Amino acid sequence: MKTNGIVLMAFASIFFLACETGSESPQDLEAPVIDHAESHDEIEPQNGEVFGETADHAPIRFSVEDPSGIGQVRVNVHANFDGHSHARMNNDFVRLNINDIYSPEASNPDFRFPEGSTRINIDDPGTDIFWAGANSRLTGPVIAGSYDVGIEATDIHGNQTGYDDGSSYLATIQIRTPYAPSISITNLHEEELEAEAGMPLNVQGSISRTSHDLSAPISFLWIRLTEEHDDLEGEGGHNHRISEEDYYDQMWGSSAWLEEGSGPELPHDEMLDLSKILTGDNAIQVPSGEDHLDLVIRAEDVNGNTTEKTFTVHIE
C-alpha cells in the first residue's frame, strides 16, 4: 500500500507539473502577420497596379511579424491566365514565373534574415523583380498581361498564412509592354466617356498593332460594359462570359488564354476602328438606372501579349 501511494503521488506531481508548464507556455496557433514596410503606407506592389510600357520591374516592399519567430516567407509571381492555349505561341516570349524564398538559410543574401527574427522589414532594391533590362529574371521578352503576386509566411511552429482568410497577401498587377496591342479612346471628357441612357454608347478610338519590332497581328478583342469596380485594372483573371454585372459582352477573334474566348472573325489584324466595330448589332446600348459603369477592353496579339484597359462611363 505504501508503494502504491508513492507511485500515485509521483503521477500526481508529473500531472501538475505538466499543467503548470502548459499554462506558462501556451501553444502558438497564430500565423504571422504580413503588412506594409516601415517606410511605406501600402504593401507593394499594390493590387490593381499597372506597370506601363517603360517599366522594367516591380518593387517588393512588405513586413512580416510573429512573436514566436519567423520561419520562412515566400513571394510568388505567376501569370493570371487560365492555361488554355491554341499551341501557336511564339516561344521567344516568356511568362514571369517567380518563387522567391526568404529564410535564415537563403542562398541569396537579399532573401536572408537572422534566425529567430520576430519581425523582418523588406524594403531594398535587391528584392525587386525585373522582367526587362540588365537585371531581368527572364531569358526573353516578357508576355504582357495580368499577373498575380502572392506573399505567404510561416512561423517557426509551422503556422502558415492563407489566402482564404486574407492573411496571405494577393495582388493582381498588369504588365504592359511597347509591343503589346495599343488601346486608345479619343473622345474622353475629363477622363470619362459621356453617355446617355437608352442611347448607343459613342466610342471613338482604336485597337492597333504598334511599331515595335516585337509587335504582332491582333488576334482577339473582348469588350464589356459592366458595373463599376475599384480594381478592374487588375482584373485580368476575369475568364467567364456574361456575368450578372455585365450589360454588354462581346468577343471577336480567338484568345490564346481564355477557354471560352472566341467570337466572329476580326475585320482587321493591324488596326481596329472602335466606332465601326461598335455599330449596328454590336452597338452598346446604355442602360437606365445607372450613373457610372466601366467599359473594359481587352486585346491580344498572336503571341499572347495582352493589353486590358478600363474606362469610366458617365451616364446622364
Q: Which long-range contacts (CB under 8 A, 24 or more apart) does 132-140 make?
A: 132/56, 132/57, 133/56, 133/57, 135/56, 135/57, 136/56, 137/96, 137/98, 138/94, 138/96, 139/94, 140/92, 140/93, 140/94
Per domain, the residue ranges of the chain are 33-175, 182-315
**Other C-beta atoms lying within 10 Å of the C-beta of residue 262:** 13
3-state secondary structure of 6: helix
* Mean pLDDT (10-residue bins), the chain, 316 residues: 49 48 63 97 97 98 98 96 55 92 97 98 97 96 97 97 97 98 98 97 98 97 89 43 77 92 96 97 96 97 96 96
Q: How far apart are CA 169 and CA 224, in angstroms?
A: 28
CA dist 43 → 59, 74, 124, 150, 225 (Å): 10, 15, 13, 11, 30
- d(Cα 143, Cα 79) in Å, to the nearest integer? 9
First vs last C-alpha separation in the chain: 95
Q: Looking at domain 182-315, which of 2.40.30.10, 3.30.70.980, 2.60.40.1930, 2.40.50.180 is its CATH number?
A: 2.60.40.1930
Q: pLDDT value at position 240?
A: 44
- CA dist., res. 49 & res. 132, Å (int): 18
How do strand 70-79 and strand 62-65 relate by DSSP bridges? unpaired
What pLDDT is stored for residue 83 in this prediction? 52
User: Nearest-CA neighbor of 70 among 105, 36, 37?
Assistant: 105
Give the pLDDT of residue 242: 47
Please enumerate in sequence order all residues whose Cβ is within 8 A of that of 146, keeping only pairs 6 or more positions apart, or say none.
79, 80, 81, 172, 173, 174, 175, 234, 235, 236, 237, 306, 308
Identify the residue whose cell numbers are 538559410.
105
As beta bridge partners, residue 145 has 175
Q: In this predicted structure, what is the pLDDT of residue 29?
A: 86
* 33-175 shares its CATH topology with 182-315: yes
CA distances from 144 to 10, 45, 170, 298, 308 (A): 70, 17, 19, 12, 10
pLDDT in the model for residue 109? 96
pLDDT of residue 244: 66
CATH number of the domain at 33-175, out of 2.60.40, 2.60.120, 1.10.150, 3.30.70? 2.60.40
